[in-house]
Structure 1
Amino acid sequence: MSERDKEKKGFWSRIIGPTTFEQPKRVPEPPTVSPSGPEGEPKVVSPEGEPKVVSPEGEPKVVSPEGEPEVVSSEGEPKVVSPEGEPEVVSPVLVPEPEPEPASLPDPIPDPEPAPEPVSEQEEEAEAIAEAPFEGGQSEDGAPKKEGFFARLRAGLARSSSRLVGGIMGLFTQRKLDDAALEELEDLLITADLGVDTAMKLTQSLAKERFGKDVTGDEVRVHFAQDIAEILTPVARPMPIDPANRPHVVLVVGVNGSGKTTTIGKIANQLKKEGKTVLLAAGDTFRAAAVEQLKVWGERTGCPVISRDTGADAAGLAYDALQQARAEKYDVLLIDTAGRLHNKAELMDELKKVVRVIKKLEPEAPHVCLQVLDATVGQNAHQQVKVFQEMTNVSGLVMTKLDGTAKGGVVVALADKFGLPVHYVGVGEGIDDLRPFDAKDFANGLMGL
């Protein structure tokens, strides 16, 4: 093949490109050589004896059935030709490009929130009062004052006070105090867990002074706060610590989940700040977690902890702890106990055993039997106090979790019914969120003042 023919074939190959299909290669029949060609060269003939078209170089060309030569590629394969005999341009086979990875879909558009229910002006005012920030002012050196406990108490009582304040402000804008108004007020106080007797006492006191007169919600709140403070003042007493008793034994009791162990740690922290030496006894031997929790509090407050293996006799542990506290002259011994339901007689009998064992070493002990009450239980606290007082002679109360309930009024009901001292109230999880009970602060906080 001449150089020119090769260039032509290369040119068509670049234009036509690869074919979209392949035909089987034709295997040429062995050529039959005649004795002599025109110039004495042998001729290439087909099996039927017809001469085949050969290239100038003597190579046979592929011919169509009609005897016309076909266009062949450089590899010797026949090209597709048009009916007129011209080679057709075959488009190259397109290899599809890989599809790009789908882009991350945008976050779904959330459904629109339902429109808030309309809030009355009285309810808005009540919420503003309950949620108002504490303005601590400035100290002498110009630095902002740290938020006081009353501010935390008011914030903790917000759920209780918002119900009372909202209800009172909703009932009275400028309304005459008649029987219907008094009945509505009484129902409101009962729903806030102040109890039936206490609610009646408060409404009767208000009626005695203002019956038949126009009153406002603010006037009602101020009056109730004063009456509640009078009910609470006799029971708002700090926990007594007699220095003559070394140690002064405090037994802490209560139902499951009331917060006894945490309360012990917080009381220990306060006593340490007062300069007293404190020993802790992990008497909840039924729960390994309670023992570990008290040890953590011991590390935080710097108070040693007496403990035993899980399942050990709680009365025996209390006896050993009292012996050690006496020998080392601790000021206070705080004894934790296992949580028990007040309606389980066998568990209550076990608690009575702890008291008996302590009295063998110290007849006057425990000097304080402190019952921890979860304020979220509401009126159920009455039954708890009644049963524990009969079994262990409860001498004082601690109200915890006032920040997580709308039932803070139960403190007033308990004070009015039992008259037991309320030594501490808890309004948070912080180490300083348990403080001695103050009647006026609590009453004002409950009424959102």
Structure 2
Amino acid sequence: MSNQQEDLAVTCPACGLLCDDIRIKQQDGHLDVEAQGCALAQSFFQQSVPNAHAKIQGKNVSLAQAVQAASDLLYNSKQSLFCGLGTDVSGMRALLTLVNQTGAYLDHMNSSAGLRNIQVLQQHGWQTTTLTEVKQRADVILIIGSHIVSQHPRFFQRILWQGDALFGERLPEREIIVLGPADLDISVATSPTGKAAQHIVCENAQLPEVLASLHALALGKTIHAEQIAHIPTQTLQQLVDVLRAAKYSVLTWLAKELDFPHAELCIQQITQTVRALNQHTRSSALPLGGSDGDYSVYQVNTWTTGFPIRNRFYQGNAEYDPFHFSAERLQDQSDVRVWISCFQPKPPPTSEGKTIIIGHPALQDCPCDVFIPVKIPGLQQSGTLFRVDSSVSLPIQAVMASELNSLQEVLRQIEEAYHAH
């Protein structure tokens, strides 16, 4: 890249919204987010990337030596596991080729959250929408939980408060209702005209009973209790009345936040509430989330294997088991584990087996048997990612120079060395 000052419009891979209106300034190898950025974008684009070398047992080696060591470990492995999987579309496609050759297990670091949604989709189906349709159509949005602001800092600015309707008819001012904990700051949900969001206080631990009651009321059932988890039943009935009166309501949540046993039942209550509302008006669900390329990994895995993530590959065939093939269950059963985290320097969990780390240069000091640094997608490497609603794929750009190889090139070299045995 040139050392001269340059203004660039880029797509930010830091969360599942993939905001494509970010403007950054590049000067003397340093990047500054100038416009439309959030805390996540600033952290990603303005990060300091160390010079990193391939390593074996903590000692610097050539890339060829590290590739050979990794291929030796995989060739001699009785049960290998590829996990982490923080990569983009091209990286995942290259990864599937290698995993298929080595007969390994495969799991993403975010799959526990993603599978809560997938289980509901598989077992019951659902009616979901896209970010664009929310922006253009939704007049009532029910936000369930507290982490949308931290996980998607620009959700309100970019999706709810920006721009005119595509089809000429401007929406009336939206009604924003937040079902979240008492200490949640919902000021960001205040509209540009000053209309505040409604806050119904509900702790995460109370969501199962509250969402079940909301579903019952949406079906027209009568609840005789005066309160549900300290929320007056009348308040929940008024919420259902608002959702029924809406022209287009949207119920949105983060599966990652619902981190308790059988959380998929909460998501099922949300999607069945949407189904009940559609008997009277128009309503959709909007599952949010997305980090470390998870939605892109899920897309590539499904169109390639026909399955969601959590797979075993054997003799060219893929198997799917969301319980037995989880990395958490397999990491101590596998004698070789390959951890991939290219977007962020996320270290792998501790494990008793051999560990190969391929990823962000800042991972070079993590204890492992083999370390290979690669380019960071969306910063040093161009590529493609899928947005959280899975309806749009967007290009990410290389805006910082790097002499490292891409993940797909490293995986290709490991595959060649593996076949040379």
TM-score, normalised via structure 1 length: 0.34
Q: Which has the higher strand share?
A: 2
- Specify which structure has the higher proportion of helix: 1
Larger radius of gyration: 1
